[in-house]
Each structure stands twice: as structure tokens, then as C-alpha cells.
Amino acid sequence: MQLKNIKTVGIVGAGTMGLGIAQVCALAGYTTLIFDARQEAVAAAMRKIEENLDKGIEKKKLTRKQKDKALSRLEPVVHIKGMKADLIIEAVVERLDVKHQIFEFLEKNNGPETILATNTSSIPITRIAASLKHPERVVGMHFFNPAHIMKLVEIIAGAETSDKVVKLSKAFAEKLGKTAILAKDAPGFIVNRVARHYYVESLLLAEENTADFAAIDDLLESSGFKMGPFRLMDLIGVDTNFSVTTSMYDAFWQAPKFRPSRLQQLKVDAGHLGRKSGRGFYTYEEDKD
């Protein structure tokens, strides 16, 4: 397959990351299928994408014509059986068993040329592809939140990923207007490996009552970071961030420097998941659906 042969892109998972990736693909001219096990999530994603596009128009980054064309390319899929595409990007929870189940079905449901990509933040690609008959077609395409704004995409090859698939995935990401970098298949890859301690150490400071969330955020923002760790975790999703930290902690054989925070665990247990739930480390009643 060549880049020009990619016409249809499938997105499995209509959460924050999935909808952002779908928006970018549709704007780039691709017919974009969106599926989620929860149909209400797909409907919510479509509304959020339209809202994002309207904001783009307000900021004069998009035209109404571009918005209308992008929306016309988005196709909600009711059942995963309808997920047939030239390139499929999985963007679901960071659980290896769930990803195995999805990829095993996608492999059977699509032709041999279909590229199967994962947006995993931390799970090695080799482990995700291990249960498949053709692991050479599996690649990591790690977008960053918010995917419709952030330019970086990590392209990660598993032990069996073919060079052709890696090159094609990188070219595809660049066609989306992204900056694509190649990363080795290690837990957390590059960005999450480096950034994990931005969260972990900040949470430790809060656990020890060294300072409150706002003070830590303000301090780091005044030091040059665009967004403090607690505001950023609320944007990403407290549960998503906690899941990635837990995954990396396990992948590094419980190395203390990656230890998940009890404070963050309490937030997840309480359902305080950040902006998407209306409350996280801060309160966002206006953002709650």
C-alpha cells in the first residue's frame, strides 16, 4: 500500500483522544469512521467535534466550508463489524486485554493491507501485537491531547512491525499536518517517559502538603510550563493519566520513581476525572455534559 491508497480511516474509541484524532483525519480529507462500544459516546464525540470546529472558525483558523466538509466525512459506526478501513487507529482504555480483544477482531475483519495502529501512551507495541497472526501490520501512532491542536505524533515500531508500515504511518501523520518522530518500543516511549515525573513528583508534593494544587500549578507555569500538572491532568483525564502511570510502574517492575499516587487513586475512585466529569483537582461545572 502507498499513502495515496489510504482513503478511509477508522477510529476505535470516541473519547477525548479518539474524537480529536477523528477530527484531524476528517479535516485532512479522509472518510473517517468512528466507533465506540457506547453509542452515546459517539454522539457526544460528534457534538464535541462540531464545537471544536466552530471554535476554529471563531479564531479564523478554519472556514465554514472546511467545517461542513469535515463533518460530511465523519461516519458513526454502530457495530465494530462496520469498522473496515485502510488504516484503523485504536484509542481506548490502557488495558492490554482490551486492546488484544479489539485488535484480534480488527485483524479478522479487515484485509491484509489494512494498517492497525494504536494510540497507546505506554504499553509496548510488541505486547499489543503479540496475539495477532500478522504483527507486522501493527504500529504505534501516539497522538497528544488535545489531538486536534498538538502537533507531535510518536511513531513506534514493535519487534515485528514492517519498515513499510512504519514509513507509511509516518507519512500519514505528516499529511495530517503533524510532526512525526520515530520512537523505540519502550514503556512510555519518549514523551511519557520524560513527562511522567512532572505528574508523579507534583502529586508527591501535594500528598506531603508541601503546597496545594493551584500553588504548584502556578509555580510551574511561572517557570515556563504552558500548563501546570494538575490543570493538565484534569484536561487529559485524571483516570487516563493514572492508568498510564500504573502501566509504566508495572512495565518497569515497580520501580519506585514511577509509583502511582494514592491521591490520584482517590480522585479516580470518587469519579473526579477532570474536565470531562466536571470535577477533578479543580471544579468545572460549566464543562460537564
Residues annotated as catalytic are 142
> What one-character-per-residue DSSP string does the chain give?
--GGG--EEEEE--SHHHHHHHHHHHHTT-EEEEE-SSHHHHHHHHHHHHHHHHHHHHTTSS-HHHHHHHHHHEEEESSGGG---SEEEE---S-HHHHHHHHHHHHHHS-TT-EEEE--SSS-HHHHHTTSS-GGGEEEEEE-SSTTT--EEEEEE-TT--HHHHHHHHHHHHHTT-EEEEE-SSTTTTHHHHHHHHHHHHHHHHHTTSS-HHHHHHHHHHTT-SS-HHHHHHHH-HHHHHHHHHHHHHHTTT-GGGPPPHHHHHHHHHT--BGGGTBSSSB-GGG--
How many residues in the chain? 289
Q: What per-residue string of b and e applies to 17-42 under the rule 16 or more CB within 10 Å gives b?
A: bbbbbbbbbbbbebbbbbbbeeeebb
Instruction: Give me the phi and psi of 142, to 5 degrees please.
Output: -95, 105
Beta-ladder partners of 183? 156
State the pairing for strand pair 138-143/115-118.
parallel
